[in-house]
Amino acid sequence: MQEKSLTMLADAPLTPTERRRSLIAVIACISVVGMGLGVSIPLLALLMERSGVPASLIGLNTAMPALATFVFTPFIPGLLRRVPAIAFLLGCIAVSAIAMPAYYLFPSIWLWFFIRFVNGLALTGLFVVSEFWINTLADEKNRGRLIGIYGTVLSCGFASGPILLFLVGTEGMAPFAVIACVIAAAALPLLLFGRGLAPRVTERPTRSFASFFIAAPAATLAGLVYGATETDIFNMLPVYGVRIGMTEQTAAFVLSIFAAGNILCQIPIGLWADRADRRFVLLVCALIGLLGTIAIPFVAHSIWLFAPTLFLFGGVVVGLYTVGLTLLGERFRGADLASANAAFVMMYSIGALIGPPLSGAAMDLWDPHGLIVAMGGLCGLYVLIAGWRYFTAPRIRPAP
């Protein structure tokens, strides 16, 4: 028997001050977590490399958070019916903060698999609930803009992580202690601004978890395509660049250009999505993602051509994530929205898991342009799905 009702404070009339406090709480929280991630990912990779860990084991260890996401996301909506969102987020922050010194105290690659998996569970909870919170605060006039701001601030936090790593170094306990403190600091905006304003779920979703992939295929698969594309860019594009003749420094530098596009274009795309048919925006993002992928071999010989191409590609393809989340918020409410957000994060995680292995296998078959075939093939399939949904799904009038 279903419980009586769904109570969500974000659906109640909030004063402008309460709405600002709520937005500050959730966006500041996730941006600080992003900074902690931006430090920890390269730190762990560097330490494993320094210890002589084989590249295959480094790759498997790096995949643990994605595996944790795949395992944990179906259970998050149910947990939110039993645990208040603020308490849930604070618990996730505590687990993630404690995990950092645990890496230092237990310097074994095999124990790191377990620690990274548990840390991945906590990070999954943080991302799913924060995105659910943002979607509940938004309305159809500003949903794309708010999600664009959320994504931009998160990307800025993630991008600033390596700068912090440069300042604290990679030796001894210091970097782990600093990262733990940074992640723990994410609790402050929740306690100062978010208490009493987080969404509450008190009923079961009306749909099964798997049904969201059928009910909203364009929105949910946008997460998968972006997860695979982003992971391919950061993991495989430097390898591609070196194999076509770039220096290692240039191949690494182009990642900053892709990240800059991510940061600067999310808000404009979100604003566009608030004023246009969001399925059309999603289709355009997918088309430019396909064209950008195909263009890479033709412009990569010149940094002056490659840089603007990669900036535009990175800026527009991130719209798959921004607009995909926006479409879910437009379509679902309450417990269904919590489940839809969880499904979206799971699809992103699946994309991150399958992208690099597929691209790596393709590069083995056609070195190095198999990467372009793999990425382009995935984007091309998604263009067909996004186009099918745009031309056949019922039209939703954009907010005035």
326 in the same domain as 190: no
- Would you state the pLDDT for residue 122? 92
pLDDT of 74:
84
Q: Are residues 179 and 240 in the same domain?
A: no
With contact defined as beta carbons under 8 Å apart, do 278 and 326 qualify? yes
The total domain count for the chain is 2
- State the CATH number of the domain containing residue 319: 1.20.1250.20
Asked if residue 184 and residue 65 are part of one domain, the reply reads yes
pTM confidence score:
0.80
Residue 238 lies in a domain: yes
Q: Which of 194, 221, 251 is the last residue of a domain?
A: 194
Pairwise CA distance, residues 88 & 205, whole Å:
19
Each residue's pLDDT expressed in tens, for the chain with a length of 400 residues? 333 333 444 445 567 778 788 888 888 888 877 777 777 877 887 788 788 877 667 777 877 888 888 888 888 888 888 888 899 999 999 999 999 999 999 988 899 999 999 998 998 899 888 888 888 887 778 888 888 888 888 888 777 777 777 788 888 898 899 889 988 988 888 888 877 777 777 667 777 767 777 888 888 999 999 988 888 887 778 778 888 887 767 777 777 788 888 889 889 999 998 888 889 999 999 999 999 999 999 988 888 898 899 899 988 988 898 899 888 888 887 778 888 888 888 898 888 888 888 888 888 888 888 889 999 999 999 999 999 988 887 665 444 4
3-class secondary structure, 132: helix
Question: 304 and 169 in one domain?
Answer: no
How many angstroms separate the CA atoms of 236 and 229, rounded?
Answer: 10
Domain boundaries, position 20: 13-194
pLDDT for 234: 77
Looking at the structure, do residues 224 and 100 belong to the same domain, yes or no? no
Q: With beta carbons less than 8 A apart as the criterion, state whether 253 and 263 touch.
A: no
φ/ψ of residue 373, rounded to 5: -65, -45
Same domain, 20 and 160: yes
161 assigned to some structural domain: yes
- Could you say which of 194, 221, 254 is where a domain stops? 194
Q: What per-residue confidence (pLDDT) applies to 395?
A: 60
Residue 98 domain flag: yes
219 and 361 housed in the same domain: yes
Residue 216 tokens, joined: 């909203």
